[in-house]
Amino acid sequence: MYGWRGKILRVDLTRGRVQEESSDPRIAKDFIGGRGMGIQRLLAEVDPNCNPLGPENVLIMAAGPLTGTKAPTGARYMVMTKSPLTGSVTCSNSGGQFPAELKKAGVDLISFHGQAAAPVYLWIDGEKAELRPAAHLWGKTTHETDAALQGETARGARVACIGPAGERGVLFASIMNDRDRAAGRSGVGAVMGSKMLKAVAVRGAGEVPLFDAKAFDEFVKKLNKRFRDNLKGGKHPLNLHGTAVTVMATQNFGVLPTRNFQQGTFEGWEEIHGENLTRKYLVRPKACFSCPIGCGRVTRVDDPEFRGEGEGPEYETVYSLGSNCGVANLAAVTKANYICNEMGMDTISMGSTIACAMELYERGYLPEADVGRALRFGDAHALVDLTLKTAQREGIGDLLALGSYRLAAHYGHPELAMVAKKQEFAGYDPRGEQGMGLAYATSPVGASHMRGDPAYIELLGVPMLLDPLSWDDKAELIKDWQDVFAIIDAAGLCVFFSVRNLVTPTRDIRPEGIMELLNAATGAGYDLEELVRAGERIFNAERLFMVKAGLSREDDTLPPRILREPLPDGPGQGSVCHLEEMLDPYYQVRGWDQNGIPTHEKLRELGL
């Protein structure tokens, strides 16, 4: 096979066995790779009604056919499983160097089954793969684990691992690779911890074979030239200031979530803005494998109260730990981000859960005795303290570890959790960005900007600009955008390059550049209709898993605050999210019934 490596590792943790299987070329083409092959495998092997933290659940790591190639940003892989946070499917995405190393070792996908009797890690050295004891690693941070495994495996090995949060079952625990890159959302780290799997370490032994290497290289050169020409000799804003540069845009549009989504603007936004991060704490930018952008931030904080060093924070982190908690102290936000990385937790859910706790406290629903201190918006020290307590599941941290929905429900006010399908929102208030509201509500993994991010279209004008406050034109657009993002994820690319340089800016959004890369890499001979259909197939397969897990239209909703409380400030002042007006038209263009369930005709059409 070309692009695809043709090998799947099936790891039976209960019996301590690693078996090698061959990739099915038909499945590879129909589902592309990464996210697509992951959901195909989950549907085939997992009961959607299983206990997410039980041995019957399966954890999948899958790379795409462009992962590990010279394709710009060809550095992504997916972690897929049934989520303990949402009860639905999840697919957490990460970059760095680990995914490319996995492909260089000849692996398209790893599926982990059962549960080990004692901690283990998987070591892949070229063509060889084995399970090794990991009791000596249990309890270590992600940074400590990475260093230890590089010392005991091989120089140049790449590591994906969990920290103490995953071991202790924090429902939004992440899997960290290359120290600070996160497959962050939906509790994939908790599933890994429940299987007593501490880490995967890999050293590759070859390159990814290409069907037409000459055509592939020529197209890559053209893409990189186009990228450089667009910058006109300058540097990309993401390279200069990282993703936190987005703060200015969301603040200006009035969709920067503040104090648990009570407002859409934050008076302290300049303090947490990317330019301030660059000025105060940036050591250097850092790029993932084969990336021309380099949006990663290597940072160091010398503030004696919040001293630390590592990577980040990203935009989603400065929103969730910053404005959403009313905290304008960038040193504290960065420190809490370091704790999340080292303990292995999703910064979005962490910050949003603390924000929810702050509102519960200020409204008198959360007793001070339960926290051991006053808990008000803007308290930087509480932010850092509660982040660490959550990872340790100490005191109130044991409740915070369950996420904001379960926390708010515990105190009798689930409406104060800003979630869809029990997963916390990303950093965009859907009252001021209607398409984002529809995307949050209909995402099978719960609220996520990475299942089709309309902020590109509604705020940034990439690859086109539409009014963020309109809702009657969003149903078909969100459907198409979700399908394109499924293609990007399945191919193994990052959205930052793909959306701007590989998607044609027309009303029907065509992934022509991705098709050209895939055909040169794999020889699959996709035409545009076939590739778009593959994206639709992947999204519907995820929806099918969600439906089989017991979720339907009643779960495609948003909190009462978003649907009934108008934005109090910003350009969208007075607006609510018009979800109900968008939902039926969306189901119709999807080919789903009125309950949001794919029809038999649609499933047959997609080969599902």
Q: Looking at residue 501, what is its pLDDT?
A: 87
- Residue 461 and residue 439 share a domain: yes
- Residue 457 and residue 372 share a domain: no
Q: Is residue 220 part of a domain?
A: no
Q: Is residue 208 part of a domain?
A: no
Q: Are 366 and 356 in contact (CB under 8 A)?
A: no
- Residue 198 and residue 132 share a domain: yes
Average pLDDT score over the chain: 96
Residue at which a domain ends, from 183, 203, 223: 203
Q: Is residue 209 part of a domain?
A: no
- Residue 375 and residue 325 share a domain: yes
Q: Is residue 228 part of a domain?
A: no
475-491 helix and 579-590 helix, angle to the nearest 10 degrees: 60
The pLDDT of residue 372 is above 90: yes
3-state secondary structure of 155: coil
Q: Is residue 230 part of a domain?
A: no
Q: Is residue 280 part of a domain?
A: yes
Element housing 561 (H / E) = helix 560-564
The pLDDT of residue 232 is above 80: no
Report residue 326 as tokens: 């009313």
CATH number at residue 336: 1.10.569.10
- Residue 76 and residue 30 share a domain: yes
Domain extent, residue 387, equals 240-423
Where does the pLDDT of residue 509 fall: very low under 50, low under 70, confident under 90, or very high at 90 and above?
A: confident
- Residue 504 and residue 377 share a domain: no
- Residue 412 and residue 457 share a domain: no
What's the CA gap between 188 and 503, in Å, rounded? 30
CATH number at residue 596: 1.10.599.10
Q: Looking at residue 508, what is its pLDDT?
A: 65
Residue at which a domain ends, from 154, 175, 203: 203
- Residue 565 and residue 473 share a domain: yes
Q: Is residue 100 part of a domain?
A: yes
Q: Is residue 297 part of a domain?
A: yes
Residue at which a domain ends, from 188, 203, 218: 203
pTM strictly above 0.85: yes
335-349, 417-431, 499-513: segment of lowest average pLDDT: 499-513
Q: Looking at residue 363, what is its pLDDT?
A: 98
- Residue 440 and residue 419 share a domain: no
Where does the pLDDT of residue 505 fall: very low under 50, low under 70, confident under 90, or very high at 90 and above?
A: low
pLDDT digits (tens, 9 = 90+) for 268-285: 999 999 999 999 999 999
The pLDDT of residue 38 is above 70: yes
What's the CA gap between 131 and 145, in Å, rounded? 16
- Residue 463 and residue 415 share a domain: no
Task: Classify residue 365 by burial, with Cβ atoms within 10 Å: 0-12, 13-18, 19+.
Answer: middle
pLDDT digits (tens, 9 = 90+) for 127-154: 999 999 999 999 999 999 999 999 999 9
Please tell me the total count of domains within the chain.
3
CATH number at residue 174: 3.60.9.10
What's the CA gap between 558 and 447, in Å, rounded? 9
pLDDT digits (tens, 9 = 90+) for 396-424: 999 999 999 999 999 999 999 999 999 99
- Residue 403 and residue 332 share a domain: yes
- Residue 475 and residue 383 share a domain: no
Query: Higher model confidence: residue 137 or residue 497?
Result: 137
Query: Strands 17-22 and 59-63, how do they pair?
Result: unpaired
Q: What angle do CA 118, 183, 528 make, to 5 degrees?
A: 130
Q: What is the DSSP string of 5-44?
A: --EEEEEETTTTEEEEEEPPHHHHHHH-SHHHHHHHHHHH
